Copies of this chain bind each other. A is one copy, B any other.
Amino acid sequence: MRLAVLGYGVVGQGVVQICDEDVPELDVVRILDLPERCSGERMTSSFDEIVGDESIEAVVECMGGLEPARSYILAALEAGKHVVTSNKAVVAANFQAFVDAADQAGVSLFIEATTGGGIPWIASIAKARRIDFVSEFSGIMNGTTNYIIDQMSRHGLDFSEALARAQELGYAERDPSADIDGIDVANKTIISCGVAFGVACRPDLPVAGIRNLTKADMDLLAERGLSVRLLGRGVCDGHGYAACVEPVALPARTLEACVPDNFNLVSLTGQTIGELKFYGQGAGGLPTGNAMVQDLIDCASGTRLRYDLSAGLSWDPTLISGTYLLRTTADIDGEGGLAPGTVLMCDVTSEQAHEALAQALKTDPEALLVALPEEF
C-alpha cells in the first residue's frame, strides 16, 4: 500500500522508520514537511501533491494541532484516502465530522495512536464491544503528568523541579498547559467515550489538572496510604453517560499507583469480561509510530472501521460521584478536611466538585481538587 506521512517530527519519523525497516508492504512515498526541512526525494511541502495523487491510498497525519490538520484530514477523506492519525486534539474536536466524511467517502478513520500511545487501547475497547456493553473506563492517559507525579512521589521533588526535569527530557513542552491542566487527557477521554459508549462526548466535560499539586498535598495523602494519579474517566449506564478528568487519590497497592515514569495504564469494564487493564508507553516516536503502523497493516489487509457516535445518551453527572478533597484558602461549603485549609465534599458528583473548585479558584489560584477512593 502506498501512503503519505504528514509531519516529520518524532512520531512521523517513527512511522517512516518502522515502515521502511520492518513492514515492506507499507510504502511511504511522500512525507510532508515545511519547505526548509524538505530534503530527499520523497519529501514535499505541498499537501495538494499528496491529496491529488490517486496512487496514495492512505494518509498518516502526525502534525498535531488543530489546523491545518483538520483541513488536511477532511480533504484526504473526501479524496477517498484512508486516514491514520495520532492527533488527539483534532480528533476530539472533530470526531463526528471526520466520521461523517469517512462514511461519505467509504473510507476508514484509524485513531489507535490518539490515546494511550503504543497501547492497543482503542482496538481493545472496540473488540470488547463486539460482545460486551462497556460500562466504564478510566486511566492514566498522559505520560508527562505521570512522570511529574512519579518524580515528586519517589524522589521528593517539588512540582516545579519535576516539571523542569520533564521538560529537559523532552516529555513536556515549553508551555506545559495542555498536559498539566488536563487538556490532553480530556481529548483522550472524549475519544474514549466515543469508542466505548458510541457518544459524541460533550467538549466541556469537567477537567481539573495537577498544576497546583504540591509535595505537601502528596504527603498528606501518603499518610493515609494514598497516591495521586491524573485520570480520565467515563461511565455509561445505557441511558446516560458522564466523563471527567481529575486527580484521583488511590490506595498505594493499586496497579495505577505503581505506574512508573511516563507510562500509561488504561482500564475498561465489560459485563462478561470484567475488568481489563492495558499498560505501556503512552508517547514516544517508536511506540506511537508502532500504533500507527498497526493501523496501517489493518488498513492494508482490508480492515474497515466505522465509528458510530449516534447512541442517544444524555449527560448524567450522577454517574460519577463520591468524596472529594478541596485544598484551598477560599471559603467553600463542606466538612472539615484532612488538614487545615482542606474541605471534604461527601457524596457529590464530579461536576459539583469541579464547580466548587472553579469557585475556589476565583480567589485562590492555588486551589487543588482530588477525588478520594470509595473506601475513604
Which residues of chain B are near A273, meaning CB under 8 Å?
A: 118, 280-281, 286-287, 290
Q: A18 contacts the other chain (Cβ, under 8 Å)?
A: yes
Q: A253 contacts the other chain (Cβ, under 8 Å)?
A: yes
Q: Which of A97-147 contact B (CB under 8 A)?
A: 118-120, 124, 127, 130-132
Contact of A276 among B254, B272, B280 (CB under 8 A): B280
Q: Which of A262-318 contact B (CB under 8 A)?
A: 265, 270, 272-281, 284, 286-287, 289-290, 293-294, 297
Q: A220 contacts the other chain (Cβ, under 8 Å)?
A: no
Q: Which of A186-223 contact B (CB under 8 A)?
A: none
Interface residues on A, range: 35 or more
Assembly CA distance A246 to B260 (angstroms): 25
Assembly CA distance A276 to B124 (angstroms): 13
* Min distance, Cβ A121 to any Cβ of chain B, angstroms: 11
Q: A38 contacts the other chain (Cβ, under 8 Å)?
A: no
Which residues of chain B are near A278, meaning CB under 8 Å?
A: 276-279
Q: A22 contacts the other chain (Cβ, under 8 Å)?
A: yes
Q: A259 contacts the other chain (Cβ, under 8 Å)?
A: yes
> Are A276 and B118 neighbours in the complex by a CB distance under 8 Å?
yes
Contact of A286 among B127, B254, B274, B275 (CB under 8 A): B274
* Min distance, Cβ A269 to any Cβ of chain B, angstroms: 10
Which residues of chain B are near A270, meaning CB under 8 Å?
A: 290
Which residues of chain B are near A257, meaning CB under 8 Å?
A: 258
> Are A118 and B274 neighbours in the complex by a CB distance under 8 Å?
yes
Q: A23 contacts the other chain (Cβ, under 8 Å)?
A: yes
Copies in the complex: 2
> Are B254 and A297 neighbours in the complex by a CB distance under 8 Å?
no
Question: From A278, which residue of chain B is reached at the shortest CB distance?
Answer: B278
Assembly CA distance A127 to B68 (angstroms): 32
> Are B131 and A124 neighbours in the complex by a CB distance under 8 Å?
no
* Min distance, Cβ A300 to any Cβ of chain B, angstroms: 11
> Are B280 and A274 neighbours in the complex by a CB distance under 8 Å?
yes
Q: A34 contacts the other chain (Cβ, under 8 Å)?
A: no
Contact of A275 among B120, B281, B294 (CB under 8 A): B281
Q: A255 contacts the other chain (Cβ, under 8 Å)?
A: yes
* Min distance, Cβ A318 to any Cβ of chain B, angstroms: 27
Which residues of chain B are near A294, meaning CB under 8 Å?
A: 127, 130-131
* Min distance, Cβ A262 to any Cβ of chain B, angstroms: 11
Assembly CA distance A212 to B274 (angstroms): 32
Interface centre among A272, A275, A294, by most B CB within 10 Å?
Answer: A272
Known: A131-B290, A131-B293, A255-B279. A272 touches B22 (CB 8 A): yes
Which residues of chain B are near A255, meaning CB under 8 Å?
A: 255, 258-259, 265, 279
Which residues of chain B are near A281, meaning CB under 8 Å?
A: 273-275
Known: A273-B118, A279-B277. A22 touches B290 (CB 8 A): no
Which residues of chain B are near A290, meaning CB under 8 Å?
A: 131-132, 270, 272-273
> Are A287 and B274 neighbours in the complex by a CB distance under 8 Å?
yes
Can you give 29 A-B contacts (C-beta < 8 A)?
A14-B272, A18-B131, A22-B272, A118-B274, A118-B276, A120-B127, A120-B276, A131-B290, A131-B293, A131-B297, A253-B258, A253-B260, A254-B258, A255-B258, A255-B259, A255-B265, A255-B279, A258-B258, A270-B290, A272-B290, A273-B286, A273-B287, A273-B290, A274-B280, A274-B284, A274-B286, A276-B280, A277-B277, A277-B278
| Known A255-B255, A257-B258, A277-B280; further 10 A-B contacts with Cβ < 8 A | A22-B272, A118-B273, A118-B276, A127-B294, A131-B294, A253-B258, A272-B289, A274-B280, A274-B284, A278-B279
